[in-house]
Amino acid sequence: MEEQGKRRRCLRRVVLVPFPFQGHINPILQLGSILHSKGFSITVVHAQYNSPDPSSHPDFSFVPLPNTSSAPDFTVEIVASTVQLNTNYKACFQECLAQVMSQQGSDEGIACIIHDELMYFSQAEAKDLKLPSISLTVGNAAHFLARSALIQLKAEGHIPFPESKSQDLVPELYPLRFKDLPILEKLESYLALVSKAFNNKASSPIIYNTIDFLENSSLKKIQHQWQVPIFAMGPMHRIASTSSSSLLEEDTSCLAWLDKQSCKSVIYVSLGSVAFMDIKELAEMAWGLANSHQPFLWVVRPGSVLGEELIEVLSEEFKKNIGERGYIVKWAPQKKVLAHVAVGGFLSHCGWNSTLESICEGIPMICRPCLVDQKVNARYVSHEWRVGLELEGDLERGEIKRAIKTLMVGEEGEAMREEAKKLKENVELCIKEGGSSYNSMNRLVEMIRSF
Ligand code: UDX
């Protein structure tokens, strides 16, 4: 008995395995900060490219996986790249864990491995080593359910679907329409990945960076269908006291520019860390923003415009037209931007981190989803939570201008702002002592201590 108690006291280290992309690194490091504040030591086993900056997390240990310095090209083939990455990393993961075990104090064992769900190889490896593992889903619960339903939708002949069905509601997945489904181009190989990696209903416990009041019905369905403990403990960036985990340098000069703008007047525009546009779309966005006559802060990330080195391609005429009314940066301190009093709207690709960050600050959105879960998130933002509107079809300057006007100065936008304010208030309650996310966090901590 005493031996067992001693063993438990010693199991203090949690090993985190992030998927090497910004939108995945942020939440797993936030989770690491939460667990560190609860007394766990944290080791991050990570790829050598897109690697987190250890100096921003001095309390964590970082162990790079050998031979992982080149990134698979996710813009070409997401599924094949994910599979390849899992195969490559599997080979060196055990070696890394052995290193972790030999480096740490002799009285400290590994309590568990928490891996991004896309790093699914970690689960099998943990099992081999007889270590508990927990999966972190960085997207939301609705996307998780929609993705898991794809196999059956295919078996029933619902997907792929003709254009004429794109606006129809998907059976059992209200409010999603067929066009909102998180389908990737190479459907067969994507479904093979879903079935292999994500649809094992008796796998490990799952952590979601989501909030019970936002996704109660999806979470209940998952709890009913999956035979594992689940933890909805978002928004983790609000629970964790964490420094930035940006892979690109944040241009903080935009905060001084925001200080000069009037309250709720600025539309903030960012398509996250993966989505991209072509030159034509860039021009449409630029002129949509200019013609709206609304102040804007626009993130044009390096590499986000296909074939060009970004901001330099914006014409002199455009720059003259906007004058001081627009501010363009390569990467922004997004959470600070969204919390700034001058920001009144967010034109976003609806990555789940951006969506949650916007909800936390009570900022209504214009949704311009590009890939996978973003379409699900956009539908929930506009149709279910009613804190945004969706910009559909080709990106076109007239439509962009109209959407900005509707959101920033229209009556419809005012109603969305009111709803967004209510969501923000609810978020505050969930993260306080006794709130749903606060309680989930404590349940998770207890579970890890019990391993
Ligand atoms: C990816 C997927 O695309 C997304 O759909 C999924 O939900 C998570 O993984 P990404 O596209 O980068 O993420 O979007 P998002 O989830 O919004 O994450 C981007 C993160 O980068 C956010 O935390 C945001 O605050 C941060 N960011 C973005 C900045 O700090 N500065 C910027 O200028 C832009």
**Digit-coded pLDDT (tens) for 130-151:** 899 999 999 999 999 999 999 9
The verdict on 379 and 397 lying in the same domain is yes
CA of 231 to the centre of ligand 1 (A): 22
374 or 243: which carries more pLDDT confidence? Answer: 374
Please give the number of the atom of ligand 1 that sits closest to the Cα of 335: 25
Please give the number of the atom of ligand 1 that sits closest to the Cα of 374: 5
pLDDT of the residue at 1: 47
| Active site members | 24, 116
Query: Cα dist. 303→44, 76, 79, 348 in Å?
Result: 27, 14, 21, 17
Percent of the chain with pLDDT over 70: 94
d(CA 448, CA 451): 5
* Confidence category of residue 380, pLDDT binned at 50, 70, 90: very high
d(CA 144, CA 286): 34
63 lies in which domain range?
A: 2-244+433-450
The pair of structure tokens assigned to 421 is 């304010």
User: With 70 as the cut, is the pLDDT of residue 391 above it?
Assistant: yes
The verdict on 93 and 161 lying in the same domain is yes
The verdict on 327 and 405 lying in the same domain is yes
pLDDT of the residue at 106: 47
Reference 79, options 188, 190, 194; nearest CA is: 190
Per DSSP, the three-state class of 276 is coil
Ligand 1 close to Cβ of residue 23 (< 6 A)? yes
Q: What is the mean pLDDT of the chain?
A: 91
* Confidence category of residue 271, pLDDT binned at 50, 70, 90: very high
41-46 and 11-17 as β-strands: parallel, antiparallel, unpaired?
Answer: parallel
User: With 60 as the cut, is the pLDDT of residue 105 above it?
Assistant: no
Q: Say how many domains are in the chain.
A: 2
Ligand 1 close to Cβ of residue 238 (< 6 A)? no
Ligand 1 close to Cβ of residue 247 (< 6 A)? no
The verdict on 34 and 179 lying in the same domain is yes
The verdict on 54 and 160 lying in the same domain is yes
Average pLDDT over residues 48-65: 92
The verdict on 235 and 263 lying in the same domain is no
Residue ranges of the alpha helices (H) in 156-272?
187-193, 212-225, 236-239, 253-259
pLDDT digits (tens, 9 = 90+) for 314-331: 788 888 999 999 999 999
d(CA 26, CA 22): 6
Ligand 1 close to Cβ of residue 332 (< 6 A)? yes
The verdict on 231 and 333 lying in the same domain is no
The verdict on 82 and 231 lying in the same domain is yes
pLDDT of the residue at 315: 82
Q: How close are the terminal C-alpha atoms of the chain, in Å?
A: 15
d(CA 158, CA 150): 9
pLDDT of the residue at 3: 54
Peptide bond into 160 cis (omega under 30): yes
Average pLDDT over residues 301-322: 78
20-29, 91-100, 119-128, 328-337: least confidently modelled range = 91-100
* Confidence category of residue 90, pLDDT binned at 50, 70, 90: confident
364 alpha carbon, distance to own chain's centre:
18
The verdict on 307 and 227 lying in the same domain is no
Reference 433, options 422, 424, 442, 425; nearest CA is: 442
The verdict on 439 and 409 lying in the same domain is no
Q: Which residues of 67-78 are buried (b: 16+ CB within 10 A; e: fewer)?
A: ebeeebebeebb
What CATH number is associated with residue 49? 3.40.50.2000
The verdict on 170 and 275 lying in the same domain is no
The verdict on 217 and 308 lying in the same domain is no
CA of 21 to the centre of ligand 1 (A): 9
pLDDT of the residue at 76: 67
4 or 352: which carries more pLDDT confidence? Answer: 352
CB 274, CB 306: distance < 8 Å: no
* Confidence category of residue 184, pLDDT binned at 50, 70, 90: confident
Q: Which residue's C-alpha comes closest to atom 13 of ligand 1? A: 23
